[in-house]
Amino acid sequence: MSTTSGAAGAPPAGSDPPALEARGLGIRNRDGWALRSCDFRVPRGAVAGLVGPNGDGKSSLLAVAAGLRAPTEGTLRVLGHRPGTSPVLPRVALLLQDRPLHAAFTVAETLRYGREMNPAWDDATARSVVAGADVPLRAKVGHLSGGQRTCVALALALGKRPDVLLLDEPMADLDPLRRHAMMAALMTVNAEHGTTVVMSSHILAELDLVCDYVLLLAHGRMLVADDVEFVQAAHTLVTHTLDGQDPPGSGAAYGRRTGAAEGDPGGSLPDELLGHTVVEARTTGRQLTAMIQLPTSLDGAGAAEPPTLEEILLAYLRNPEAPPLLAPADEPAAGATARPLLPRGQDAESDR
Amino acid sequence: MSALARYVAWPPREERPALLPFPLPQVAGPAWAAWRRHRAAYRTVIALALVCGLWALWEHHQLLAGVHHYADACRKVRQSCDPSGDQSGGAHQPAPPRVPVVVHTLFDMAPSVLRFLPLVVGALLGGPLFGQELEAGTHRLAWVQSVGRREWVAVKLAVATGVTAFGAVVLTAPVSWWWYASWRGHGRPGLDGYAWRAVTWWNDWDFFAYTGPVGVAHLLLALMIGAVTGLLVRRTLPAVAVSAGLCEAVLFGLGRLRSHLLTPYVLRHGYGQLAPSQPRDAWYLGGGYVRADGSLTTKDPCAGPGVKDIMTCLRQHHVVGQYDSDFRMSQFVPLQLIETAICLSAAAALAAFCLWYVPRVTAR
């Protein structure tokens, strides 16, 4: 299974392995593949958002990264090690989606649980998270509300003082105040200790504010894995007024891999967009709006504007067949210009 | 040693009672978590064991007093109890002294409780050990802490084993003492021995499974059976039920196996002759027929309605005599050690299975 030269997942000497690195990763659940042939990496110190539809393998990916389960195929390396092994287990914390906690413990006992189970326990951080969320220390965990449970579970995760913090839907059941407190705590730990944060979320607008790296999963494929800045720079939203000809379908959304490569009939996409990688295009009346990946030159009747991250992610979510945009899994040889223009998800299988 | 130091904490001076000149060690690390998780059950087990143990010690005292009292009554009214066992005293014979109530408590009621103790331990202590964690999903909480899964399993099993072993020893020791006192009493000469034999009339082997190392080993095996069941079933209530059933089956199997663990003594005698008497503290295993070539059979060749002359039939089947087989008291301790070894080996194998299995569990 090991794709790197190092034996038993040992990091190659001299280099700093990334926080997460997947090669040909596949996860199969009981009812089918949650994830297939995933290649991505999350650099150290990043705050990465993991986005995707419900039930599309986000939780499975985090469970694999925390060592709770083994990948079905391919490899995932956390800080250069196999997840769940003794060198990396104390350095990775996971906030699970259902926040399992011992219901009979009090909050104070839960914090003691963290202290006894983690040699590098940071009691001050954990207590400040609990105090900041206004959770009484003497309350039984079983009697807490959902949001309070989340805060206690987050205190356990942060108190572990991890190098990689994996959060599964951390903001789902928090009120706005606690949400801000939690984001502040995450930003603090990221800034002070360089902790890598990977969080799955549905709230795209909030990711825009905090994340500097984005991972997008849909239908078992990793569609986007790159810096937020690069992702934003790499996409253009083109608004095109269809003149004369009939719209291909009023209100219809459609996507094409690459208009030119597939010999797209002129009826569905305007000529100006041929030759570009269209993530998603939709028409509203006589307006055609298209999200274009890595535009080379845009000359035509279209009005181009930089999209927000939310718009880009929505475009990919609407069209899971879009060509993926993935940061290279290997160290880039010559800077950002060496980024491949071809969809990497397809040649990954033939590589292995 | 440094690895074990994680499990013990020495509280600093300001946190311990002023009366104590030295710090008392406390459990720490994963052992604290394992204790705290099932604290209510463990405290109940320890408290019940201590209460029952103290009660059993008191009952031992009551037993000795009761037998002594019985012997005294015999001395006063000689005719009521005759050590020679001759009961042909006639109608005017005075009634024998009353058997003390404690005897009924100890040797009728206690065994029926002791009999089901492994079921209780396996179902209520072993079953929820992993079943509860897996049902509530809290095993994933433990598995994403810094403690490895294998250590987590080992510590949980060790704490549960420690509590069970403590309770088992506290209970088994006084029960073994009852048994030892009554066995010694049965063999005594004169009126004392008669009183013991008249009051405590049971067989000395009836308490085999509740005394000595076997009493402890049965409970430890039951605990491991329950733990593995909980691990595989992953639900508390089904684990409790299945563990109880499995423990009962294993106890039944052990009881059946016991008579095959050692070679019994065999006493042969001619057909129809009076069997030579066995020692009083022997465990009678059964008898059968001896064939002419010396081989033994438990099957009666002449049983059935069609046989008219039994002696002719036996002769046709080359049966020349009968035999009785039994275990002697000299085999009691070897048999105890063998059964203990079997139980502890099985328990160790089950624990090893847990250690092997848990790191392979897929958690979602």
Q: In angstroms, rounded to a whole number, what is the distance separating the alpha carbons of residues B343 and A2?
A: 42
Report the range out of A277-291, B78-92, B103-117, B335-349 with the highest average pLDDT: B335-349
Q: What is the 3-state secondary structure (H, E, C) of A39-95?
A: EEEECCCCEEEEECCCCCCHHHHHHHHCCCCCCCEEEEEECCECCCCCCCHHHEEEE
Q: Which residue has the higher pLDDT, A55 or A298?
A: A55
Q: How many domains does chain A have?
A: 2
Under an 8 A CB cutoff, do B364 and A60 touch?
yes
With a cut of 60, say whether residue A284 has pLDDT above it. Answer: yes
Q: Please count the CA atoms within 13 angstroms of the CA of B115 that sit on its side-chain side.
A: 12
How confident is the model at residue A139, as a pLDDT?
Answer: 95
pLDDT > 90: percent of chain A: 40
At residue B246 the predicted structure's pLDDT band, cuts being 50, 70 and 90, is: very high
Query: What is the token pair recorded at B286?
Result: 């059964």
Q: Which residue has the higher pLDDT, B275 or A157?
A: A157
Range of the structural domain that residue A46 is part of: 7-228
**Distant-in-sequence, close-in-space partners of A10: CB < 8 Å, separation ≥ 6:** A80, A81
By the 10 Å C-beta count (0-12 exposed, 13-18 middle, 19+ buried), A279 is classed as buried
Query: Which letter, b or e, does each residue of B304-339 get, where b requires 16 or more Cβ atoms within 10 Å of its Cβ?
Result: eeeeeeeeebbeebebbbbbbbbbeeebbeebbebb
How confident is the model at residue A333, as a pLDDT?
Answer: 38
Does residue B251 contact residue B122 with C-beta atoms inside 8 Å? Answer: no
In Å, how far are A290, B71, B202 from B281, measured between CA atoms?
Answer: 97, 21, 10
Strand, coil or helix: what is A326? Answer: strand
With a cut of 80, say whether residue A13 has pLDDT above it. Answer: no
Does residue B126 contact residue B223 with C-beta atoms inside 8 Å? Answer: yes
Strand partners, B27: B8
* A62 in reach of chain B (CB within 8 A): no
- CATH no. for residue A34? 3.40.50.300
Q: In angstroms, rounded to a whole number, what is the distance separating the alpha carbons of residues B56 and B109?
A: 12
How confident is the model at residue A255, as a pLDDT?
Answer: 45
Task: Mark which of A178, A209, A228 sits at the end of a domain.
Answer: A228
Residue A350 resides in a domain: no
Closest chain A residue to B31 measured between Cα atoms? Answer: A116
With a cut of 90, say whether residue B144 has pLDDT above it. Answer: yes
How confident is the model at residue A25, as a pLDDT?
Answer: 92
Among B156, B213, B215, residue whose Cα is nearest residue B351: B156
Q: In angstroms, rounded to a whole number, what is the distance separating the alpha carbons of residues B171 and B148?
A: 35
Do both A13 and A74 map to the same domain?
yes
Q: Which chain B positions have a beta carbon within 8 Å of A28's beta carbon?
A: none
Look up the ipTM and state it: 0.86
Task: Mark which of A197, A228, A259 sits at the end of a domain.
Answer: A228
Nearest-CA distance from A58 to chain B in Å?
11
Q: Which of A17-31, B100-114, B315-329 has the lowest mean pLDDT?
A: B100-114
Q: Which chain A positions have a beta carbon within 8 Å of B145's beta carbon?
A: 114, 117-118, 160
How confident is the model at residue A6, as a pLDDT?
Answer: 38
- The distance between the two most distant Cα atoms of chain B, rounded to a whole number of Å, is 92
Do both A197 and A238 map to the same domain?
no
Instruction: Please state, rounded to an integer, the average pLDDT across all residues of chain B.
Output: 88
Closest chain A residue to B40 measured between Cα atoms? Answer: A104
How confident is the model at residue B92, as a pLDDT?
Answer: 53
Do both A122 and A136 map to the same domain?
yes
Under an 8 A CB cutoff, do B36 and A105 touch?
yes
Q: Which of A112-116, A175-179, B201-205, B257-261 has the lowest mean pLDDT?
A: B201-205
* A109 in reach of chain B (CB within 8 A): yes
At residue A31 the predicted structure's pLDDT band, cuts being 50, 70 and 90, is: confident
pLDDT in tens, A80-110: 999 989 999 999 999 999 999 999 999 999 9
Among A195, A208, A211, A215, residue whose Cα is nearest residue A44: A195
Q: Work out the average pLDDT over A33-44.
A: 89
At residue B118 the predicted structure's pLDDT band, cuts being 50, 70 and 90, is: very high
Does residue A93 contact residue A87 with C-beta atoms inside 8 Å? Answer: no
Do both A208 and A240 map to the same domain?
no
With a cut of 50, say whether residue A342 has pLDDT above it. Answer: no
Residue to substitute from A99, A102, A118, interface B, most B β-carbons within 10 A = A102
How confident is the model at residue A334, as a pLDDT?
Answer: 36
Residue to substitute from A116, A118, A156, A165, interface B, most B β-carbons within 10 A = A116
Closest chain B residue to A58 measured between Cα atoms? Answer: B364
* A98 in reach of chain B (CB within 8 A): yes
Closest chain A residue to B9 measured between Cα atoms? Answer: A116
**Distant-in-sequence, close-in-space partners of A58: CB < 8 Å, separation ≥ 6:** A50, A51, A52, A168, A200, A217
3-state helix, strand, coil split of chain A in percent (to 5) is: 30, 25, 45
Does residue B71 contact residue B192 with C-beta atoms inside 8 Å? Answer: yes
Q: Which chain A positions have a beta carbon within 8 Å of B144's beta carbon?
A: 66-68, 92-94, 96
Under an 8 A CB cutoff, do B138 and A98 touch?
no
Residue A316 resides in a domain: yes
Q: Which of A18-32, A103-117, A202-216 has the lowest mean pLDDT?
A: A202-216
Residue to substitute from A91, A115, A117, interface B, most B β-carbons within 10 A = A117
Q: Output DSSP code: residue A96.
A: -
Do both A216 and A253 map to the same domain?
no
Residue A178 resides in a domain: yes
pLDDT in tens, B26-59: 888 999 999 999 999 999 999 999 999 999 999 9
Q: Which chain A positions have a beta carbon within 8 Å of B32's beta carbon?
A: 112, 116
Do both A39 and A150 map to the same domain?
yes
Q: In angstroms, rounded to a whole number, what is the distance separating the alpha carbons of residues A171 and A151?
A: 10
At residue B335 the predicted structure's pLDDT band, cuts being 50, 70 and 90, is: very high
At residue A29 the predicted structure's pLDDT band, cuts being 50, 70 and 90, is: confident
Do both A216 and A239 map to the same domain?
no
With a cut of 90, say whether residue B126 has pLDDT above it. Answer: yes
Q: Work out the average pLDDT over A35-64.
A: 89
With a cut of 90, say whether residue B16 has pLDDT above it. Answer: no
Under an 8 A CB cutoff, do A67 and B37 touch?
no
**Distant-in-sequence, close-in-space partners of A16: CB < 8 Å, separation ≥ 6:** A44
With a cut of 70, say whether residue A282 has pLDDT above it. Answer: yes
Q: Which residue has the higher pLDDT, A159 or A351?
A: A159
pLDDT > 70: percent of chain B: 93
Residue A269 resides in a domain: yes
Q: What are the residues of chain B with a beta carbon less than 8 Å away from any beta carbon of chain A?
A: 6, 28-30, 32-33, 36-37, 40, 136-138, 140-148, 362-364
Closest chain A residue to B136 measured between Cα atoms? Answer: A100
Sign of CA dihedral B234, B239, B245, B247: positive
Residue A341 resides in a domain: no
How confident is the model at residue A244, as a pLDDT?
Answer: 58
How confident is the model at residue A189, as a pLDDT?
Answer: 92
Residue to substitute from B35, B144, B152, B236, interface A, most A β-carbons within 10 A = B144
How confident is the model at residue B37, as a pLDDT?
Answer: 95
* A115 in reach of chain B (CB within 8 A): no
Do both A29 and A113 map to the same domain?
yes
Task: Mark which of A201, A228, A255 sits at the end of a domain.
Answer: A228
Residue A165 resides in a domain: yes
Under an 8 A CB cutoff, do A66 and B6 touch?
no
Do both A42 and A162 map to the same domain?
yes
Strand, coil or helix: what is A21? Answer: strand
Report the range out of A25-39, A121-135, A324-338 with the highest average pLDDT: A121-135
Under an 8 A CB cutoff, do B143 and A68 touch?
yes
pLDDT in tens, B291-322: 888 888 887 777 766 666 777 888 888 888 88
How confident is the model at residue B276, as a pLDDT?
Answer: 79
With a cut of 70, say whether residue A296 has pLDDT above it. Answer: no
Residue A310 resides in a domain: yes
Nearest-CA distance from A340 to chain B in Å?
34
With a cut of 70, say whether residue A330 has pLDDT above it. Answer: no
Under an 8 A CB cutoff, do B146 and A68 touch?
no
Instruction: Please state, rounded to an integer, the average pLDDT across all residues of chain A.
Output: 80
Under an 8 A CB cutoff, do B148 and A86 touch?
yes
Q: Which chain A positions have a beta carbon within 8 Å of B40's beta carbon?
A: 104
Does residue A295 contact residue A279 with C-beta atoms inside 8 Å? Answer: no
**Side chain identity at A205, as an amino acid letter?**
A
In Å, how far are A13, A332, B151 from A21, measured between CA atoms?
Answer: 16, 14, 28
How confident is the model at residue B249, as a pLDDT?
Answer: 97
Do both A210 and A240 map to the same domain?
no
At residue B2 the predicted structure's pLDDT band, cuts being 50, 70 and 90, is: low
Q: In angstroms, rounded to a whole number, what is the distance separating the alpha carbons of residues B350 and B158?
A: 13
**Distant-in-sequence, close-in-space partners of B322: CB < 8 Å, separation ≥ 6:** B268, B269, B270, B271, B275, B287, B288, B289, B290
With a cut of 50, say whether residue B88 has pLDDT above it. Answer: no
Q: In angstroms, rounded to a whole number, what is the distance separating the alpha carbons of residues A58 and A201?
A: 9
Q: Which chain A positions have a beta carbon within 8 Å of B30's beta carbon?
A: 116-117
Do both A43 and A138 map to the same domain?
yes
Q: Which chain B positions have a beta carbon within 8 Å of A84's beta carbon?
A: 143
* Partner residue opposite B140 with nearest CB, options A70, A96, A119: A96
How confident is the model at residue A329, as a pLDDT?
Answer: 56
With a cut of 80, say whether residue A314 has pLDDT above it. Answer: yes
Do both A172 and A252 map to the same domain?
no
* Partner residue opposite B363 with nearest CB, options A63, A89, A116: A63
Does residue A306 contact residue A292 with C-beta atoms inside 8 Å? Answer: no
